[in-house]
A = this chain, B = another copy of it.
């Protein structure tokens, strides 16, 4: 790795911390659009194949993203809970989603690039590194959002385009 030219050194990495944050938040923006695309009742009640309603998957995502980042930065393990106080209001879910967006951004700024390989036992049970944990958060969100796309399709609703992250 060249050290003569800092601008070259800066990009002699697979992905920079700010890029990974933008990648994640881009996915979160798309997931927000998917939440918006659901009719209120279907968001909380509709399901197929014996699976959870999409709202329950979103509860899981909300329980991971903000609290996970908080634990990564503080080092303080918290028990994992999927109970999210939204009183079955989609508007409240979206407000909580936006709060998490800000919380993630604020905590992200506290992770130095040298910290991403630090070990962590998230929520007291999931062992990995900060990097593998964050990738898991993103992957898990894409996975469940993909399921939400099928829910929307079977409801006859066109989902947002997969590449629409702004």
| CB of A11 within 8 Å of the partner chain | yes
Counted per complex, copies of this chain come to: 2
Nearest-neighbour CB distance to chain B for A152, whole angstroms, equals: 8
Summarize A's interface: helix, strand, loop or mixed: helix
| CB of A32 within 8 Å of the partner chain | no
In the complex, residue of chain B having the shortest beta-carbon distance to the beta carbon of A138: B139
Contact B50–A11 (Cβ < 8 Å): no
Nearest-neighbour CB distance to chain B for A51, whole angstroms, equals: 6
Q: B-contacting residues of A (Cβ < 8 Å)?
A: 1, 3, 8-9, 11-17, 19-20, 23, 27, 48-51, 113-114, 116-117, 131, 135-136, 139-140, 142-147, 149-156, 162-163
